[in-house]
Amino acid sequence: MLREIFYFVIFPGLIFSAFIGGILSWFDRKITARVQFRKGPPILQPFYDFVKLLYKETILPAHGSKLTFLLAPIFGLFGVTIASVFILLPLFGIDTGFKGDIIVIFYLLTIPTLTYMIGAMASGNPLAAVGASREMKLIISYELSFLLVVVAVIFRSGMKLSMYEILEYQAANGAIIGSLSGVLVFIVALFCLQAKLGLVPFDMSEAETEITHGIFIEYSGSIYAIIKLTKYMMLFILPAFVIAILMGGFNFEGINILWSVLKVFGVVLLLTLIRNTNPRLKIHHAMKFFLVWMNVLVILAIILMNFNL
Amino acid sequence: MGLKSFCFKKSLWVFHFAGASCNNCDIEILDCLTPRFDIERFGMQLVGSPRHADVLLVNGSINRKDKTRLLDVYRQTSKPVLVVAIGACGCTGGIFKEGYTNAGPVDAIIPVDAYIPGCPPKPEAIIAGLVKLIGKEDNHTTSIKQEKELIHADS
């Protein structure tokens, strides 16, 4: 019992993944600054932001459901914490003994986005409602591609539904990304991550310049700090999930530690570079992008897997 | 200096309220975000929603229509919030001081924590003003309670 609490609260769960996520969030901002020839914030900036928000006043919406508004981000944090435990335990070589956890993780990863939407709808702000409706359309479009990515991985690893077994398969036969079909699946997964994290080509739900943070417009103070924490954790566990299912996971023997760390920073670097070199898409362009092109790409990858390419 | 005020000083999020200005101050404020001046190295960010703001940058002369908007935005911010008046118009009313639509300088409407004069102030002057603001953050001109009383008295 104590062991499970330790897993959820401290080591692969809340505190550890929030800390790494904060560092990655700084990395993202620093790379953005360097791309724009700026100097960028100090390394502890995400933690300053978080603590500052904790001490600020929380304003509740006058016209809207106050309870839903407050509870939605907390449920989002629960969802992302449970997902981080299920993703990170197999990555650190601890078998949870849970067959079929990859399906559960897939659903847990949608919880934060869903709760943002519910919270935005409860705030009663018209701009938040616009953001929520865009987020809903975005979920409808990218979830199918992300599911097909997971299906492709399960198919490739010989119908194994457990993260630990998929990692074992990759340790024995090489990482899935090492083949042509694996590269295609990785590209699709990268764009799905971009949409899930709400980074720039797909940030129409929180577009700062047109609907002023959209779904987060009404959040302030400590409840916004929880949303920030959720976003930091998502920035760590989503790349960790892709590394686990496609890039062979982590390895902690000697020099391999360096490669494991570089994998995480590399995936985040790719996401940041895509974010910095693209304009915001319109929602129907994003839907077309996922529903047509990404699905075609991943189905092509599954067909290629049939021929062992 | 406690953790609270230390973190507050390290991450000031700025909301930009432009009154009836000639846009020169707006352009100089945006200059602060460009590669040459880059206020993000102090942790400052421009935010779109007043709910996230720690600093309210107010520039331009405030006319009678702007006054209600400024009070609205000030009420919408989550406290504690610092107010900075930028430019000659924001600080004193400038050349519009005698105008029939002028509702007075910013500090006649909401409590102001720092003044950055100039027409328009250079980005260096804005950064110097923000650094002075960080230096004096411990003694707010008004406490949260006083701010709320002031707002209710006005409306």
Asked if the C-beta of A253 comes within 8 angstroms of chain B's C-beta atoms, the answer is no
Nearest alpha-carbon partner for A84 in A151, A178, A7, A156: A7
Domain at B11-154: CATH architecture: 3-Layer(aba) Sandwich (3.40)
- What pLDDT is stored for residue B146 in this prediction? 57
Domain ranges of chain A: 2-306
| Record: contact B7-A216, CB cut-off 8 A | no
| Record: contact B38-A38, CB cut-off 8 A | yes
> Which one has a higher pLDDT value, B66 or B144?
B66
- What pLDDT is stored for residue B47 in this prediction? 87
DSSP symbols for B48-107: S-GGG-SEEEEESB-BHHHHHHHHHHHHHSPSS-EEEEEHHHHHH-GGGTT-TTB---GG
Nearest alpha-carbon partner for A110 in A211, A195, A5: A195
Domain ranges of chain B: 11-154
State how far the Cα of A15 lies from the Cα of A4, in Å rounded to an integer: 14
| Record: contact A219-B51, CB cut-off 8 A | yes
Tokens of B67: 């006054």
Asked if the C-beta of A146 comes within 8 angstroms of chain B's C-beta atoms, the answer is no
Asked if residue A269 has pLDDT above 90, the reply is: yes
ipTM of the complex model: 0.83
pLDDT digits (tens, 9 = 90+) for A186-240: 999 999 999 988 888 888 888 777 888 888 888 888 899 999 999 999 999 999 9
pLDDT digits (tens, 9 = 90+) for A28-83: 999 999 998 888 888 888 999 898 888 888 888 888 888 888 899 999 999 999 99
pLDDT digits (tens, 9 = 90+) for B108-141: 888 888 888 888 888 888 888 888 888 775 555 4
- Decide: A263 and A244 in contact? Cβ < 8 Å: no
In this prediction the pTM is 0.88
- CB-count burial class (<10 Å; 0-12, 13-18, 19+) for A109: buried
